[in-house]
Structure 1
Amino acid sequence: MRFHAAFARLAFCSAPRPSLPTPFAPFAQTSRTARAIRLSALLAFPALYGEAHATIAMLQPAREAAANQPLQITILYSADDAKPLTITVPPTLKMSLTSGEQAPQPLDLVREPGVPDTLHLRPGQFLKVRFSAPWPASARGQVRLDPVGFDASPALVVINRGKEQDAVAQAEHAETQATTPAQVATAAAVVAGPTGDAISPPGDSLSSTGRGLFSHLSYYEPMYIAAGRNGDTNARLQLSFKYRIRIPDDLRSKSLVDNLYFAYTQTSIWDLSADSRPFRDTTYSPQLFYYVPDTGWRSPFFTRMGFSAGIAHESNGKAGTDSRSINMPFIRPTWEFGDLTANHLTVSPKIYYYLGTSNNPDIADYRGYVDLLVKYGSPDGWQLATTVRKGTKHWYGSVDTQFTYPLAKVLGSAWGGYIWVGYFNGYGEDLLDYNNRQHWIARIGYSISR
């Protein structure tokens, strides 16, 4: 995808350009013009030449930037074809930079030397003016740049603080200056790296779909509430998130510390038939694990492989004979097959072992040692996800199936979340009754993520 974007930029660069008088010719190089984000406003200037209009555009900066190189924003001024135009260029450009959970901070970019305060444009002529400033030391990972004082779309840039940042910066520059498809492909390969573009790191194949509130926080297991009836009426409610403990200098890092997560999932069975409608049981599950959504391993048999490994705790927070508690070290490879932007298959077995099962020593008889998750669907369409467990004795086990469909496709784009339809049959929907088979039940509800 990066190659196609870069090649489009190359094709644009080969188009004829307006001739410009010196000393402004250096500002007219259009290698980044295909990155332009057009402003919606047209500014009118009552100049000596009569009324004329200028279009102002902010060119998109490099998608990945080296931390030791200054942030550079280019503004493109262009005149319409009516009359000559005089434009006043400000000495600084104000931006707002948002990084992670930090509050937005102001950033003043200084106009490059040698550019006069006033530019004179002939009809149809355009000029580029660059503004720059050092990256703040606190800016890490993907940052958002919002223009202040003029109407333009924000820009997203990934800051690379890794050892290879100089090579990345040189490759970005080479890509924008490329004049042949071979040069574009070579530069794009350096920027993209071995396991994907840093601005678009591998998707989170294990977790539910959605963007977290902060850069460290994201969804983990699906989050939903749904109700159904079979003998009695009950609801199932689940909350889940994961937190990336450290944002790495390079978002493609595979090191242990850079990919360490804390996760928490809480699942409750809510008895809506009983008096006072109590929660029948709640499972609390904190986890600590290593996780990469893309290991970089490639095969003709699968599109992408992810991997996680860690330890999980599950308990229902009760005392006495109702107490349930287990600890489970686990590993979880995840394979994805097909086009990840369309309907595709995901297979993810979670293999674990039990530690500390004094309250429920026979849990493996009903739950086994593997959770096999199989998903099929597309990111923006329907999805069917099924988790199968097989106990070590008899035919004990369970089937948990969840179908989701974007609510926006039913009620309009203003709506978020998903329609959720679930089916459960077998043992262990909650910890309290892991060894008692409940009625199969189908539920319908709403999910924030899937």
Structure 2
Amino acid sequence: MRFLILATAAATLTFATPALAQLRPLVEPPESAAAAQDGVEVFLINEGQVALPAAGPDTIDTVAKDGTRLRLVAAPDGQTMVSPGGFARMHYRLAAAAQMVAATAGTPPATAATAAASDRRPETLARGSNGTATVLADRISAYEPTYGVYGPGDAGAKMQFSVAVRLFGNEDGLRFKGAYTQTMFWALDKPSGPIRPTTYSPELFAELPLGQSTILGLGYRHDSNGEAGGQSIDVNRLFVRATKSFDLGGDWRFEVTPQAWFYSSRVGRGTDLDRYWGYTSLSASVAQTDGLKVAGTLRGNPGTGKGAGELFISYPLTRIGPAGLYLFGQAFSGYGEALSRFDSSDSHARIGFAFTR
């Protein structure tokens, strides 16, 4: 029965590289794009008369059981030989940046509900050492959420832009990335509506997949409030973190990200920032592809009893337009929501929209 399914799937395959002589790839189609995040098995059938190296196409385009078009890339495996009439099993991974719009060839006449669903663009996601985020383009992905939210009273407006760029390597092995996050606070409760001091956070880091569900990250982060003189705060940290992902079924996943760091330097007014930020954090999220996502982060210093927690809740607004847009809620309680106020405690709740999550 397994090979009947594989043979049926093979009839729908198109390949991004020329077919290899006498080796016929058969894909076991995943249930969905989310299921493919953990890898897809491909069987190479030797239909010739001599043994051949088990080398499949670099990329394979296929269709998941739910109709989503997927692009798979070969994972690095030790090469073996395939005897005549035999087969080899290879592991392919989802090329997240190349996921395609859901569509199914030869489907029955669509109802109004299914026609509306087929016009929506599914989420394209990539996994990193800081969790799963929205893909923007090849080599470029979201890092932290990009959003704009507003809250009552002195919460005002909070806006954040964050992006990561893969500098070297590929998504299936060791890669080096740069990231930039900018967080702004707009005091709309004041008559003049001033922009409060902004936090600027560039990063450089390396990531390495450990198996199919864990990604290790090691890097450097700089945080600055952009001020000069006595108001300047500049913090440099070296960090290590790892994200472990769990498939919950039904396109749901759970992720947990512990992180630890030490301060290589603290310049300006933030020399005692470790009393409030501490040396560790723990992030976790539960999310459904094209559905609800709840994410949170805790950090602090147990020795001083000072810390903070932040919560994000998002839901895609797929009917508004083709571009990704999410209803987005954000809440913060504790010390240091803004770098310039690292030694002040605040509690704020805001709601708005996000472009990535």
Sequence identity percentage: 26
Written as runs of structure 1 = structure 2, the 5 A alignment for 1:181-220 is: 187=88, 190-192=89-91, 196-197=92-93, 199=95, 203-205=126-128, 206-207=130-131, 209-213=133-137, 215-220=138-143
Structure 2: distance between partners of 1:143 and 1:62: 5
Query: In the alignment, which residue of structure 1 is the partner of 2:219?
Result: 310
Structure 2: distance between partners of 1:389 and 1:7: 51
Label 1:442 to 1:242 Cα distance change in 2 as closer, same or farther (>3 A): same
Written as runs of structure 1 = structure 2, the 5 A alignment for 1:59-138 is: 60-62=13-15, 65=17
1:143–1:157 CA contact under 8 A, matched in 2: yes
Query: In the alignment, which residue of structure 2 is the partner of 1:296?
Result: 211
Query: In the alignment, which residue of structure 2 is the partner of 1:273?
Result: 189
2:131–2:255 CA contact under 8 A, matched in 1: no
Count how many residue pairs are aligned between Structure 1 and Structure 2.
291
Label 1:361 to 1:340 Cα distance change in 2 as closer, same or farther (>3 A): farther
Structure 2: distance between partners of 1:420 and 1:200: 23
Label 1:310 to 1:378 Cα distance change in 2 as closer, same or farther (>3 A): same
Structure 1: distance between partners of 2:163 and 2:132: 9
Structure 1: distance between partners of 2:229 and 2:19: 56
What is the Cα deviation at residue 62 of structure 1? Answer: 3.2
What is the Cα deviation at residue 413 of structure 1? Answer: 6.8
Query: In the alignment, which residue of structure 2 is the partner of 1:106?
Result: none
Query: SS at the partner of 1:432?
Result: helix
Equivalent position amino acid for 1:197 in 2: R
Structure 1: distance between partners of 2:325 and 2:215: 25
Q: Out of 434, 438, 445, which is 2:342 matched to?
A: 434
Q: Does 1:443 align with 2:342?
A: no
Query: SS at the partner of 1:197?
Result: strand
Label 1:324 to 1:156 Cα distance change in 2 as closer, same or farther (>3 A): same
Structure 1: distance between partners of 2:308 and 2:296: 10
Query: In the alignment, which residue of structure 2 is the partner of 1:252?
Result: 172
Q: Out of 256, 263, 286, which is 1:354 matched to?
A: 263
What is the Cα deviation at residue 252 of structure 1? Answer: 2.7
1:239–1:266 CA contact under 8 A, matched in 2: yes
What is the Cα deviation at residue 432 of structure 1? Answer: 0.4
Q: Out of 190, 198, 201, which is 1:282 matched to?
A: 198
Structure 2: distance between partners of 1:275 and 1:142: 57
Written as runs of structure 1 = structure 2, the 5 A alignment for 1:147-226 is: 187=88, 190-192=89-91, 196-197=92-93, 199=95, 203-205=126-128, 206-207=130-131, 209-213=133-137, 215-226=138-149
Structure 2: distance between partners of 1:279 and 1:366: 24
Q: Out of 228, 233, 247, which is 1:338 matched to?
A: 247
Deviations 1:290-320 (A, max 9, x none): 113x4117xxxxxx22211111111111111
Label 1:319 to 1:228 Cα distance change in 2 as closer, same or farther (>3 A): same
Query: SS at the partner of 1:321?
Result: helix
Written as runs of structure 1 = structure 2, the 5 A alignment for 1:12-31 is: 12=8
What is the Cα deviation at residue 397 of structure 1? Answer: 0.8
Q: Does 1:262 align with 2:169?
A: no
What is the Cα deviation at residue 357 of structure 1? Answer: 1.0
Structure 1: distance between partners of 2:18 and 2:259: 38
Structure 2: distance between partners of 1:396 and 1:449: 30
Q: Does 1:322 align with 2:322?
A: no
Label 1:156 to 1:421 Cα distance change in 2 as closer, same or farther (>3 A): closer
Equivalent position amino acid for 2:246 in 1: F
Larger deviation, residues 274-283 vs 201-210: 201-210
Structure 1: distance between partners of 2:218 and 2:185: 28
Q: Does 1:400 align with 2:317?
A: no
Query: SS at the partner of 1:372?
Result: strand
Structure 2: distance between partners of 1:163 and 1:203: 21
2:335–2:344 CA contact under 8 A, matched in 1: yes
Query: SS at the partner of 1:386?
Result: strand
1:66–1:159 CA contact under 8 A, matched in 2: no
Label 1:142 to 1:347 Cα distance change in 2 as closer, same or farther (>3 A): same
Q: CA RMSD in A?
A: 3.8
What is the Cα deviation at residue 414 of structure 1? Answer: 4.4
2:147–2:159 CA contact under 8 A, matched in 1: yes
Structure 1: distance between partners of 2:273 and 2:94: 43
Label 1:329 to 1:405 Cα distance change in 2 as closer, same or farther (>3 A): same
Unaligned runs of 5+ in 2: 22-57, 62-68, 98-124
Q: Out of 283, 290, 293, which is 1:380 matched to?
A: 290
Structure 2: distance between partners of 1:296 and 1:162: 12
Label 1:143 to 1:285 Cα distance change in 2 as closer, same or farther (>3 A): farther
Label 1:339 to 1:427 Cα distance change in 2 as closer, same or farther (>3 A): same
Greater relative contact order (Cα 8 A, min sep 6): structure 1 or 2?
2
Structure 1: distance between partners of 2:73 and 2:242: 29
Deviations 1:225-252 (A, max 9, x none): 101023x25111111111111244xx53
Equivalent position amino acid for 2:299 in 1: R
What is the Cα deviation at residue 209 of structure 1? Answer: 3.3
Equivalent position amino acid for 2:93 in 1: D
What is the Cα deviation at residue 393 of structure 1? Answer: 4.2
Structure 1: distance between partners of 2:258 and 2:75: 35
Label 1:163 to 1:286 Cα distance change in 2 as closer, same or farther (>3 A): same
